[in-house]
A and B are shown apart, each in its own frame.
Chain A
């Protein structure tokens, strides 16, 4: 990971699945109705009476080895050296959708209106002016935070190994999640 890697920290133990973050993200980024750059997914596991359900709010994980960047045929993706944010350039995108197959987390999404792919760029313009991304500002439960990965990594319960999520070795995501012990993939 680059020094100074910025990442999301999502405390899924507090998420109530209200989807305010999704709406704020869509509003802020002007995404079409067919594309959501942040998604809250509900995972249900186990058999009665030992069942567990948890909500994970996820956008782009700004991975250390982003498959989208590696194999985009037009080079539309870049990982900023200063803060490790993976940015997508819509001017270069031709809408081939290869990145939607490449990303194990389903971060890039095709917009049927624009006929191009888009994904979370961590509201980079806001970050540069000292503001927080729309999802962080809007969450009523204060579930989503943004910070330096080296600080986030030290938080109690911070992990990327969550049951139901792809194995992190594939792309080495930068974002971290706090989940209940039953949801941890150990």
Chain B
């Protein structure tokens, strides 16, 4: 008999979301550097400096998941075989690159910053992909599906694009439209992944390896999970797409200005939605029942 573990694993929720947010920040600030006017202006400098603290906050949160956080260094030991070791090594490399990138944004030096930004973005993307691979394991059939990867990448694109949109107009219409495109792509990916997840759960609900997990996903008997699912779809799928679509034909109409002003609040809502979705994912981690 199977039953879910029931834990929403908040330290890991914070870690994965922070990793995606930091990667989004790295990509966005690199786009700033490649734009026609690369000098740091207001918020963009704050975003550049924020890459490192965001990675650091995620890593610190992940340590809270461990039984013995001070022994975390041992997790590098099985790099050749363990997906978790690979994730930790890539996250550490991302953190090191973020240190340099954030320092360059803080100090205001622009020479080499674009190149460092590209390296940081690539390492961040690799860390996010490896963190998805950690969960796509044969013994967790609910997670071993493209929806998990889609939701991770969707959050990265939507949140990163949303942050870029808050100050992207300063770098020109073209740059703003790139960010709005990222928001729409990320939002659609999140929307698709949410229903893909539900379909996988439904399909596997009577399978050999899964038959009690439906308790953990939205059902009429589980109002908490239903609410999480609905908020997840609204905040990470529908909200960003609607707001970005309102701004995309860049002009100066009232609705566009309002939508752009709403961007910071929308990004905060997207992050909250992504965390809810991630907590829903962890709560469906299954093991053979203990009783």
A102 touches B66 (CB 8 A): no
At the interface, is chain A mostly helix, strand, loop or mixed? loop
A180 at the interface (CB under 8 A from B): no
- The closest CB in chain B to the CB of A163 belongs to B208
Query: How far is A171 from B78 in the complex, measured between Cα atoms in Å?
Result: 19
Q: In the complex, how many residues of chain B place their beta carbon closer than 8 angstroms to a beta carbon of chain A?
A: 33
Complex-state Cα separation, A74 to B83, whole angstroms: 11
Which B40-99 residues have a C-beta within 8 angstroms of A?
A: 65-68, 71-72, 74-78, 81-85, 88
Query: Considering only CB atoms, which chain A residue lies closest to B70 in the complex?
Result: A94
Min CB distance, B204 to chain A, in Å? 12
Chain A residues within 8 Å of chain B by Cβ, number: 40
Q: Please give, as numbers and ranges, the residues of chain A lying within 8 Å of B72 by CB-CB distance.
A: 94
A106 touches B67 (CB 8 A): no
Binding stretch for chain A, among B132-140, B238-246, B258-266? B132-140
Cross-chain contact of B287 among A36, A44, A103 (Cβ < 8 A): A103
Q: Are B81 and A70 in contact (CB under 8 A)?
A: yes
Known: A41-B1, A73-B84, A105-B288. A116 touches B67 (CB 8 A): yes
Does B68 contact A71, Cβ atoms closer than 8 Å? Answer: no
B67 and A101 within 8 A (CB): no
Chain B residues, Cβ within 8 Å of A114: 67
Say whether B290 faces chain A, with CB atoms less than 8 Å apart.
yes
* Chain A proximity of B47: nearest CB distance (Å): 31
Contacting pair B290 A102 (CB below 8 A): no
Other-chain contact of A104, B85, B139, B289 (Cβ < 8 Å) = B139
Contact between chains at B138 and A67 (CB < 8 Å): yes
Asked whether A94 lies within 8 Å of B68 as measured between CB atoms, the reply is yes
A103 touches B139 (CB 8 A): yes
Whether B285 is near chain A, meaning CB under 8 Å from some CB there, is yes
Q: Is B209 an interface residue (CB 8 A)?
A: yes
Interface residues of chain B, those whose CB is within 8 Å of chain A, are 1, 5, 65-68, 71-72, 74-78, 81-85, 88, 134-135, 137-140, 208-209, 285, 287-291
Known: A104-B209, A115-B67. 13 other contacts (CB 8 A): A39-B291, A73-B75, A73-B85, A73-B88, A96-B66, A98-B82, A100-B5, A102-B139, A103-B139, A105-B288, A106-B288, A117-B67, A166-B208
